[in-house]
Structure 1
Amino acid sequence: MPASEFTKPNLTGSVIDGRYRLIRILGSGSFGIVYRAIDLRAPIEARDRAIKFVSKAGRKDSSIATLRNEMTLHKRVSHLPNVITLHDAYEVADYFVFVMDYCSGGDLGNYLAECGQFTDTQEVKKVILTLLDTVAALHEEGIYHRDLKPHNILISRDRTQVFLADFGLASDISEYEFACGTMAYMPPECVLFDPRRKPNARKADMWALGLILLNMVSGGIPWRRASRISDTFSEFVDDPNYLLQCIPLSTGANRIIRRMLRANPLIRANIADVRAMIFELDSFWRSYDEPAPSEWEALATMRSTIASEMDFDNSLSWAPNTQARQMATMNHSAGSAATSATRFSSGRSTPKSTLVASPTGSVMMVKDMRERKDMGERVRSLVSRVTKKLAMAS
């Protein structure tokens, strides 16, 4: 029976393309259905398949193009060890057909919903390190997933293996042309998408990995969208110890997760650094003899990290010291020429940039006097409030 005849509500028991016997329905949606199947031509020990049929009916041309892109990009990375293998993918008159390996444990999202958070540090390490390595390998191939979330991570029944799946929003372009993804796992720069400032897909993937890790060790995530509209997200950004007050995380785990979830993408951690920190971590959870930070400690930490943690304004350009110095040098050189040209044309010079150091070694480049004044007033006000609280707490 050809795949193009997939119009019946249930094809269980049918043989597709003379090769794949459909065993049972694994899931379905408004545009498609997924079956568990066996490959009649494969060895008995390696014949389990999951076959996804996606209908073309009612889809716009852009949506059809997205499905073709999914087929192309998934094929490109299917050889990677922890990307779910795509054995075949093709389209017929009315449907797209994806033939993949079957994963007996389902997806990580369903596991967390049914069983709750992980409780073993070594198990969490194995999963998250595998995901970090797989995403790094994707990036090396020039592919960016852009929709990392627990439901797009497949696991074996014993949870010893994990695989990335669903490349429907993947791209081989490192910058976003438009906002996309699952809202709860999208970083702030994608939630509040500005077409003039194209978010970096590497940084967006890191943000999603941070939330996946947080979900694994706590059983959930504290906000539905990374926006100041959300009180919990605002508290998380403003208070470095917010997670420690909500869940029994270890201070090391809190530090790692916060570095993965920096609101400013330019100071968000990279995969290599996160991998090293997780590898060295003793536990993701606080031990009984490790008390939660006191109010005084929390406020002190907040004061020491204000400049790097606060999301002052998307109009400010942030960069690590080296990059900022390079930018400053370039701006100085370009500024000299530009100043001369401007004087001839308008009689006014171009305002100089100012570099403002943060406690963590990052630097903000402030472009004009008004930005400098506004930012300074905000920082002084915040520092003053925190200092008063510190005095009261002590």
Structure 2
Amino acid sequence: MKKRSVAILSSAVLVMALMAGCGKADNNAQPQTPTNQTEGSGQGNQAADANDPLVKFPKLTLPFTVEPNAALVEYQGGTMNGKEFEEFLRVINFMNPQQGGMIEAADENALKAFAREYTATKILAARADETMKKDSKELAEKTFEKIKTQYMGLLDKDEAKFTKLMEGQSVSKELVVNQMALINDSINVLKKGINDAELKKAYDTMDKASRTTASVRHILISTEKRKPEEALKLANDLEARLKKGEDFAKLAKEFTDDPGSKENGGLYADADVTQWVPEFKDAALKQEVGVVGPPVKTDYGYHIIKVENRKEKTFDEMKESLRANALEKAYDAFGKNELDKLITKYNLPKVNTPAAK
């Protein structure tokens, strides 16, 4: 399970994951083929199915069976039943197919975590006022249209295929919108306790690096493929060529050992410098803009670096990311201080044992 809770991922964030990859992520579980993910597909149809975009988004195969009215979680003031839980999981899969892979591969601990997340969503959403509920529903409606637009782009803009996809996943527009609105309600309740003054205080206490983005071109000469002295010599040679005016992007495509930036001419654009290893981050923060610096050594090898631009983000530019961090902390605090005290009993079904092959 990822650290960030399903319950506080707004539907606007969840939908973006749709474009990150089609189909289920394996999450270190056994790979699942179309034959064990969809109903009615056989070995002989796999080649034909491969051309069908609907196969990329198979129906969620739940790792358990449960009666719709069974009370899976009991908490002060209510219960969470089997029907609600199944609908929640199917909607999460529809909004984020990669999370669907996590659901299908869930063991008993992971299943309990999903149930706890959804119970938290229900408890928090019940505290929403009418204004919050109105805003949540409107956002859910808009987000559904974004989800639909993204799916349609992957389904040849065929409305019938989108309808068939939803039917195949056992979801409807009403179900998706209602579940997203519930999630949004829980987020709005947590947001109520987060004001701009607190966010500004968090911004003011951040170090400069945490507020800085930079566009950096680099060429990595790896020490995995060659001796350190050979790597340094090549790096020095490339630095000299660049300082004589040769094109950085062209040399990066030819020489860099970094696959993540090779096709982009060595460029990482508008990136948070804190994501990089200390030596690279230090160069991104301190090296003169527009100047090719001497090779920088990291555990990966030697980097020839050119900082193309660098800026410190303003409070307004960082406010929403700060709010997201504050939301995560607020949810963690709710879980630690309230949720587990409010939940009185788990009655979760056993996870199905995989069939022997």
Question: Higher helix share goes to which structure?
Answer: 2
Task: Return the TM-score normalized by structure 2.
Answer: 0.23
Task: Return the TM-score normalized by structure 1.
Answer: 0.22
Larger relative contact order, structure 1 or 2 (CA cutoff 8 Å, min sep 6)? 2
